[in-house]
Amino acid sequence: MNDALLSGATIGILGGGQLGRMLSVAASRLGFRSHIYEPAANPPAGHVADRVTTAPYEDLDALRAFAASVDVVTYEFENVPAEALDAIEALRPIRPNRRALAVSQDRIAEKDFLNQIGLTTAPYAAVTTAADLETALLKIGHPAILKTTRLGYDGKGQARIRALSDAAPALAAMNGAPSVLEGFVDFTHEVSVIAARGLDGSVACYDPGENVHKDGILATTTIPARLSASQRTDAVLLAARILNALDYVGVMGVELFVTPQGLIVNEIAPRVHNSGHWTQNGCAVDQFEQHIRAVAGWPLGDGSRFADVVMENLIGDDVLRVPAIARERDAAIHLYGKAKVKPGRKMGHVNRVKRP
């Protein structure tokens, strides 16, 4: 633990949403302070962090002052502008590193990288114009999905192409943004691996979870996932390959499609991940502590699973069910302190633990 941060050091976190909030809680449990940088006022993480800077990512002076006040910088979301990262990196280490961010910010760079290291993705082609889309559809066929290469999340910036007549409206939905056409993967189910890599290069993966999405947003994660022993090994090994290739430090979410032909990588998220929230009540060391340990240069903790868990996201009005959920046995409630309920907004989650 030569480079390890000591108790009392400050972890800087870019982004003040629920992930930043849960990272701050984990940091404080290890004796660290946390400083959140977030453009929006009154962020969920601000209720639990030691300090909050409210400023846009274009304010390089505010970013420099933030960096100077912390010992290491991490982030809860991957779309931090490159100029902001340049300003920070001149002063403090950013973990996970810039390459992980660059690769995951752009769906084409991500798929190029994954294929280069020998993993399988959906077939894909870059699209900006109607002519590109025509060529891409000839190459990939349909059904297919058109997605903006950058800034997509929770199913936003995506349009399905079931028949050729869907092509023009799908392209119009991209608003001229550079996009990628992906072949539709005929998967049986979706799983994810939450993987961690320490500063010393050691890797630890949580047991894969099975994810169900509703309207493009994660609804539930069930642990264990339906996977054969060899699929489980494949999932963990491919996640480790990604982390090692990126010289990664921290926790990453790797989303996979399960098909009869094998596992296909959908996307990677260089941060703690919604599908890893179950670890809060199913493991001795959850993904948030694991991430803080990694970025602080501590040894990784024990992420082995001691119970089956079903994580349910509380989205929008779901949060009104909290009084009833609070009466359930073995249901751990995690709320994000968001004042306003909005449709599609993640308000909290519940981990239902099945005792072994």
Residues that bind ligand AMP (CB under 6 A): 122, 145, 152, 155, 182, 184-185, 190, 213, 216, 255, 266-267
Nearest approach, Cβ of residue 107 and ligand AMP (Å):
8
Nearest approach, Cβ of residue 13 and ligand AMP (Å):
23
Under 8 Å between Cβ of 127 and 161: no
Which CB sits closer to ligand AMP, 50 or 132? Answer: 132
Which CB sits closer to ligand AMP, 152 or 209? Answer: 152
Nearest approach, Cβ of residue 345 and ligand AMP (Å):
17
| 3-class secondary structure, 46 | helix
Angstrom CA distances, 352 to 23, 71, 285, 313, 356, stand at 21, 36, 17, 11, 13
Q: Which residue is nearest to ligand AMP (CB)?
A: 185
Read off φ and ψ for residue 82, nearest 5 degrees.
-60, -40
Angstrom CA distances, 309 to 146, 256, 269, 313, stand at 34, 19, 22, 13
Which CB sits closer to ligand AMP, 39 or 153? Answer: 153
Nearest approach, Cβ of residue 163 and ligand AMP (Å):
16
The string over 287-302, giving b where at least 16 C-beta atoms fall within 10 Å of a residue's C-beta and e elsewhere, is bbbbbbbbbbbbebbe
Which CB sits closer to ligand AMP, 37 or 278? Answer: 278
Which CB sits closer to ligand AMP, 104 or 266? Answer: 266
Contacts of 140 (CB under 8 A, 6+ apart): 123, 124, 125, 181, 182, 183
Which CB sits closer to ligand AMP, 77 or 184? Answer: 184
Under 8 Å between Cβ of 302 and 332: no
Nearest approach, Cβ of residue 3 and ligand AMP (Å):
34
Nearest approach, Cβ of residue 139 and ligand AMP (Å):
14
User: Radius of gyration over alpha carbons of the chain, in Å?
Assistant: 20
In this structure, how many other beta carbons lie within 10 angstroms of the beta carbon of residue 214?
A: 11
Angstrom CA distances, 325 to 41, 108, 279, 314, stand at 30, 41, 19, 11
Nearest approach, Cβ of residue 274 and ligand AMP (Å):
11
Which CB sits closer to ligand AMP, 95 or 271? Answer: 271
CA distance 5 to 296: 5
Nearest approach, Cβ of residue 189 and ligand AMP (Å):
10
In this structure, how many other beta carbons lie within 10 angstroms of the beta carbon of residue 172?
A: 11
CA distance 152 to 178: 12
Which CB sits closer to ligand AMP, 81 or 216? Answer: 216
